[in-house]
Structure 1
Amino acid sequence: MKATDTNDFFNSLNAGVFAQQVGQALSNVAAGVIDHGKAGEVTIKLKLKQIGQSNQVAVSHTLDFSQPTKRGKLREDSTLDTPLYLTPQGLTLFQNDPTAQLFKSEDTPVAAR
C-alpha cells in the first residue's frame, strides 16, 4: 500500500474547507504572535474509526487554535467528520478513480460500423 498523499488528504477533509481553515488559523495566529510578542498555538487532531465492516473510515478532524491579543487570547475550535476509503493508494475520498473510463470500447454492446 502506498503512503497517503497528505495534500490530497487535507484537501479531502470537509470538501477542502478544513485545509482553508488551517491556512487562515496559521495566518491569524502568526499575526497575533508578531503584533503582541506572545506565543500562539495551532493544534490539528485526527481520530479515525472504521465505518461498519467496510473499508471506510470516519476521520474526525479538529482544528484548535489560540491567537494572542493585546490583553489575552482569542481561541476557537471546530470538529467535523469526513468519511474516506482505504485503498491501495492510501486514504482517498473515492474508492475508485472517478476520472477513469467507465467502459472499455471492446465492451460496447453495439459493434462500430
Structure 2
Amino acid sequence: MTTNVKEVFSDLDAGIFENKIGVALSEVAQGVLKHRQKGSVTIEINLEAMNEMQVMLSHKLKFSKPTSRGKSSEEDTTHTPMYVGRGGKLSLQLEDQGQLFGKDGKVVNLSSAVN
C-alpha cells in the first residue's frame, strides 16, 4: 500500500497548505502572463521521526512571480504530524487502531492495541 498523495496534501496544515499552493500558482501565472517573464512555484517536504509511529512533515512553499520592476517572492513553512502505516503509507489518522476493548468490555493496554 502506498501513500495517497491527494489525501496527504489535503491534510497538510489542516487543508490550508493545499489552498496556499492554489493561490501561489494563480499569482505566479498572472505575473507570467502580464510581464512575459518566467515564474516559479517550489514545494519542499522534509520528514523527521517523532516516535515509533509518527513523522513530522515540514512543508515549505516558495514562489517567485514577475513584476514590472523585477520579481516578488514569498516563502512559507508549516508542519504537520502524520502516522506511518504499512509499507510507509502516510496518513493523518492511524491506519489500524487494533482491538481497543477486551472480551470483558474493559479497555486493553493501548500500547499493545496499536502493534
Give TM-score scaled by structure 2 length: 0.80
Aligned residues between the structures: 101
The 1:3–1:74 alpha-carbon spacing in structure 2 relative to 1, beyond 3 Å, is same
Unaligned runs of 5+ in 2: 106-115
The Cα of 1:97 is off from its aligned counterpart by 6.8
Q: What is the rounded CA distance, in whole Å, between the counterparts of 1:22 and 1:94 in structure 2? A: 23
Ranges of 4+ aligned residues in structure 1 off by more than 2 Å: none
Q: Return the match for 2:60 from 59, 62, 67.
A: 62
Q: What is the rounded CA distance, in whole Å, between the counterparts of 1:94 and 1:84 in structure 2? A: 7
% identical aligned pairs: 42
Kindly report the root-mean-square deviation, in angstroms, between the aligned alpha carbons of the 2 structures: 2.0
Question: 1:43-66, CA deviations, whole angstroms, 9 ceiling, x for partnerless residues?
Answer: 0000001103x2100000000000
Structure 2 counterpart of 1:33: 32
Structure 2 counterpart of 1:21: 20
Structure 2 counterpart SS, 1:60: strand
Higher relative contact order (CA 8 A, sep 6+): 1
Structure 1 counterpart SS, 2:17: helix
Unaligned runs of 5+ in 1: none
The Cα of 1:96 is off from its aligned counterpart by 3.9
The Cα of 1:3 is off from its aligned counterpart by 1.2
Amino acid at match of 2:3: T
Give TM-score scaled by structure 1 length: 0.81
Q: What is the rounded CA distance, in whole Å, between the counterparts of 2:50 and 2:27 in structure 1? A: 35
Structure 2 counterpart of 1:80: 78
